[in-house]
């Protein structure tokens, strides 16, 4: 079981089937806020849909292609974060995340993204981590900015959100930049 302690109040753990009801509860109560920026909410209407997400994530994890973690804050599941994709050929991991509205604004996701970046570049030995966020999603865009990621460009109409396209900003962190940032 993958568990990664970040600090005294925050950890990441591999999502398990037993987490399905809590994850669905968080999804459902934050649905309106999450739907503004995430394209999958209309496909997550029941606990069974969340179980399908967990099963699919477990299969992808077993193949080394992704890593879906539950964010555990002060002993409670608070959201999801991880690598939506791990591309070994490109030596790149793509971070994705969402947090229940109750837990936002406390620096949780910045610490989580920092831990995931460190894990990918230091422990996994990958060369690059990317984070993508919609141009208008300031909360998500602020996370890679705080961590010193480089804004690499904008993908025009990079994502379809229910009834319209949004442009996506791509942020990247290279292993060589991460080491120098950490004083190594």
CB-CB contact of 12 with 61 (8 Å):
no
Which residue is listed with tokens 């998500």? Answer: 140
How high is the pLDDT of residue 180?
A: 46
How distant, in Å, are the alpha carbons of 22, 59, 89 from that of 64?
Answer: 25, 9, 12
For residue 1, pLDDT over 60 is answered with no
How many domains, the chain? 1
Determine the structural domain holding residue 21 and report its residue range. 3-181
Report pLDDT digits (tens) over 38-68: 989 889 999 999 999 999 999 999 999 999 9
Report pLDDT digits (tens) over 73-128: 999 999 999 999 999 999 999 999 999 999 999 999 999 999 999 999 999 999 99
Name 9's Cβ contacts closer than 8 Å, sequence gap at least 6. Answer: 73, 74
How high is the pLDDT of residue 21?
A: 97
Percent of the chain that is helix, strand, coil (3-state, to 5):
40, 35, 25
Q: What is the pTM of this model?
A: 0.92
Residue 58: CATH number of its domain: 3.40.630.30
């Amino acid at each position: 079981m993958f568990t990664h302690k970040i600090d005294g109040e925050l950890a990441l753990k591999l999502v398990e089937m037993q987490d399905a009801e809590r994850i669905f509860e968080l999804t459902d109560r934050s649905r309106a806020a999450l739907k503004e920026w995430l394209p999958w909410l209309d496909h997550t209407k029941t606990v069974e849909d969340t179980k399908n997400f967990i099963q699919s994530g477990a299969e992808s994890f077993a193949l080394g292609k992704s890593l879906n973690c539950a964010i555990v804050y002060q002993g409670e599941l608070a959201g999801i974060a991880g690598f939506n994709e791990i591309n070994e050929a490109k030596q790149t991991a793509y971070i994705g995340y969402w947090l229940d509205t109750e837990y936002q604004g406390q620096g949780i996701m910045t610490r989580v993204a920092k831990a995931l970046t460190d894990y990918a570049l230091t422990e996994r030995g990958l060369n690059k981590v990317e984070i993508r966020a919609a141009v208008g999603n300031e909360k998500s865009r602020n996370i890679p900015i705080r961590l010193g990621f480089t804004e690499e460009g904008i993908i025009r109409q990079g994502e379809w959100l229910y009834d319209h396209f949004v442009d996506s900003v791509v942020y990247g962190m290279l292993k060589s930049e991460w080491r120098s940032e950490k004083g190594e």
